Chains A and B, each alone.
Chain A
Amino acid sequence: MSQTILKVDHLSKIYPNGTQALKDVSFEVKKGEFLIVIGLSGSGKSTLLRCLNRLNDPTSGTIQFNGEKLNLDIAQAKSEQIRQIRKNIGMIFQHFNLVPRKSVLTNVLTGRLASTSTLRSFLDIWDEKDILKAEKYLDLVGIREKAHLRADQLSGGQQQRVAIARVLAQSPELILADEPVASLDPATCHTVMDYLRKVNQELGITMIANLHFLSLVREYASRVIALKAGEIVFEGSPTEINDSWFKKIYGDKAREVHIQ
C-alpha cells in the first residue's frame, strides 16, 4: 500500500460574505494518484483546491501534507511556510495565468523563483541548471521551439502546456489542476490531459484535478471525489459513477455531455 501524501480532515470554508463553500470535507490522497474532483459550478471544487495551496484560507479543519521534504498542517501554515507549501505543490489554472508579455522560457523559469534569491531574480540572473531544466520541461510538453516567443502569442493549448512546464520546473510533489481544460476546445483538451497523465505516470507526481466532463474523468482518473454544495457526496473509482450517481451529483434534470 502506497503512502498517504495528503490527509484532509473536517475542512470547512466560509467566505466573508457568508457563503459556505466547503462543509466538513475529509479525504485522503495516496502518493502517485490521479484524483479528480467533480461537481457543479459553485459546488466548492475550486475553493477546495485553492485551500490546499492556501490561495484561499480555510475556516476550520486540518490539511496534513506528508511530502518528502515537507511535513506540516497546511491549514495552520504561516507566510514563510505557505511559500514552502506552494513550492512543493504546483498549480495549473483554467486561464493558464502566464505573464503575457514575458517569453515562454521566462514564464517557465518563474517556476524556479522560490529557489532563487530575490536579488538574482530581480536582475534576471538564472542558474544555468535552472535554464537547462526549463528547456527540458518545454521539450517534455513539446514546445521547445517556442521558448523565445512571447507567451501571449501562443494558442490556448500551447499556453497551458507552458503552464505545465512552469509547474514542473518547481519540482513539485503534488500538482493541483483547477479546471485545466475548461477553456480549451475538445481536441486540445485531450492533448493537455495526456500531458498531465504523462506527468503523473512517468514522473510519478501526484495529481488532483477539477474537471467538468465525465468522459474525461472516466478516461484519466484513478479515483474520483464528487462535491455537492460543499460536501463530499461520492468517493470511489470512476467506473462506479452510473446513471443514478450522476443524477445525485448533478441533479435530476442533468444530461451528460460527451466529448470525443
Chain B
Amino acid sequence: MKKQKFSLRRLIFDAACFGFLIVSIFIFSVEPDPIHYSNLHWLLGLGLLGFVAGAILSELFTRFKLRTTGQVLFGSKHHLVDASKGFFSTFSGWQLFITLIALFIVGVVKTRISILDLLDRDGFDGATRLFYDLAHPNLNLLPRAIINIIETIFMAFMATALAIPFAFVLSFFSARNIMRGPFAKVVYVSLRTFFNIVRSIEALIWAIIFSVWVKIGPFAGMLALMVHSIASLTKQYSEMVETVSEGPIEGVQATGANKIQTIWFAIVPQVLLPFISFTVYRWDINVRMATIIGLVGGGGIGTLLIQYQGQAMWREVGCIVLVIAIVVWLLDQASTYIREALK
C-alpha cells in the first residue's frame, strides 16, 4: 500500500474538530470559574491547547491507519470506497456524527434556547398585540413612507451607478488572465486582497463611518453602499473576465492591436451581458441594504422606520413595513425578468 501523503488541510480540519470536542468536554465537566472568561490569555491558551491536542490526535489516528473525516475530505482520492459500509461502521462517520451532536448541544446552550420563554403567556400576548397593530397599518403615514422609500431607491440607484465605472475598470486589473507578468501579478494580488477586506466590512459599518464623515443622511448611506458595491461588482466582473474564451483575444492580438484595443474588442463584447445582469442584481440588493442602512442613520425609509419603532408606534411601523415589502418584491420581480431576458 502506498504511503499516505501528508495533507495540511486534513490536519487543520481534524485539529479543529477534535480540539472543539476536547474543549467542550473540558468546560462541561470541569466547569471553570467564570472569572476566567474575561481573561484573554486564558481563553487563547485554552483554544490553542485544544487545537494542538486535536492535531496530535489527528496525526496519531492517521499513523494507526484510521481514516479521519479530514482524511476522507482532503486526503488522497485514490482510496477505494467500500460502499457496503454505513457511516456507523467507519471511523470518519462516527467522528462527523459526534462532532455534529456536540455542535448542536453547544449551540442550544449558547443561543439559550428555552421552550418556557416561547410558551410564556405575557410575552405571547405582547407579540399578538404588536402583530395586530402591524397588520392594521396607519395609512395616514403612506405619503411620507412613499417619499422616503423613493429616497432609498435613489440611494441604491446612485450607489450602483457610481460604482459601475470604478468596478468596470478595476475588474480588468483584478482578472488573472489579463494580469500576467511579475509587476501585473503584484497589482492583481494587492487589488484582490484590498477588495476582499473592503467586502468583509459590512455596508452597515461603512454607513456608520460615513455618517460621521458627511453627517447623518442619505448621502452617507449612498457612499456606504457605493463602497460595498465597488468591491462586490469588481469581484463579480473580474470573475466573468476570467471565464472569457482565449480564441478571440488571440485573434485580435494577432492583428497588432494594443492591450486596450484587445480588451475593448475581444473581451468586453464577451462579458457585457453578464456585467449588465450583475449590475441589475446589485441594484436590487442595494435597495434592500439601503433599508437596513437607514437604521443607523443612512437616510431613507430605514431612518423613518427606526424613529417610529423607537416610539413603539406599531401601526405606523406597519405602514412602513408594508411599503418596503411591496417595493422590494416589485424590484425583485423586475430584476429577475430583466436578468432572464439578458440570457
Contacts and interface: CB of A to CB of B under 8 A. Distances in A.
Interface of A: 53, 55, 83-88, 90-91, 93, 95-102, 106, 110-114, 116, 118, 121-122, 163, 166-167, 170
A235 to B, nearest CB: 26
A55 B250 contact: yes
Contacts of B255: 86-87, 90, 110-114, 166-167, 170
A248 B173 CA distance: 49
B290 interface: no
7 contacts: A97-B248, A99-B248, A99-B265, A114-B255, A114-B257, A121-B265, A122-B260
Contact of B251 (A87, A122, A163): A163
Contact of B256 (A83, A100, A101, A121): A83
Contacts, number: 84
B262 to A, nearest CB: 8
Contacts of A106: 265
B312 to A, nearest CB: 57
B40 interface: no
Nearest to A114: B256
Nearest to B271: A101
**Is chain A's interface secondary structure helix, strand, loop, or mixed overall?**
helix
Given A87-B255, A114-B255, A121-B264, 13 more contacts: A55-B250, A83-B257, A86-B254, A90-B254, A90-B255, A93-B254, A97-B248, A97-B251, A98-B251, A99-B265, A113-B252, A113-B257, A121-B261
Contact of A113 (B248, B265, B272): B265
B256 A93 contact: no
Contacts of B248: 97-100
Interface of B: 247-248, 250-258, 260-261, 264-266, 269-270, 272
A88 B248 CA distance: 19
B125 to A, nearest CB: 62
Contacts of A86: 253-256
A217 B252 CA distance: 28
A251 B250 CA distance: 32
A100 B270 contact: yes
A93 B265 contact: no
Contacts of A84: 256
A205 to B, nearest CB: 15
A102 B251 CA distance: 13
Contacts of A170: 255-256
- With most chain B CB atoms within 10 A of its CB, the pick from A84, A88, A113, A170 is A113
B251 A93 contact: yes
A90 B258 CA distance: 15
Given A110-B252, A113-B252, A101 B270 contact: yes
A118 B261 contact: yes
Contacts of A166: 251, 255
Contacts of A88: 256
Given A99-B266, A122-B264, A83 B258 contact: yes
Nearest to A112: B255
- With most chain B CB atoms within 10 A of its CB, the pick from A91, A110, A112, A166 is A110
B223 to A, nearest CB: 30
A163 B248 CA distance: 11
B253 to A, nearest CB: 7
Contacts of A118: 258, 260-261
Nearest to A87: B256
Contacts of A102: 265, 269
Nearest to A80: B258
A90 B257 CA distance: 12
Contacts of A97: 247-248, 250-251, 254
B251 A99 contact: yes
B247 A95 contact: yes
Given A55-B250, A93-B251, A98-B251, A110 B265 contact: yes
Closest 4 CB pairs of A and B: A97-B251, A114-B256, A87-B256, A86-B256
Contacts of A113: 252, 255-258, 261, 265
Contacts of B261: 113, 116, 118, 121-122
A101 B270 CA distance: 7
B256 to A, nearest CB: 3
Contacts of A85: 256
A156 to B, nearest CB: 13
A98 B265 CA distance: 10
A102 B260 CA distance: 17
A127 to B, nearest CB: 15
A119 B298 CA distance: 40
Contacts of A55: 250, 253-254
A94 to B, nearest CB: 9
Contacts of B256: 83-88, 113-114, 170
Contacts of A121: 257, 261, 264-265
Contact of A91 (B254, B257, B272): B254
A232 B272 CA distance: 45
B306 to A, nearest CB: 47
Contacts of A98: 248, 251
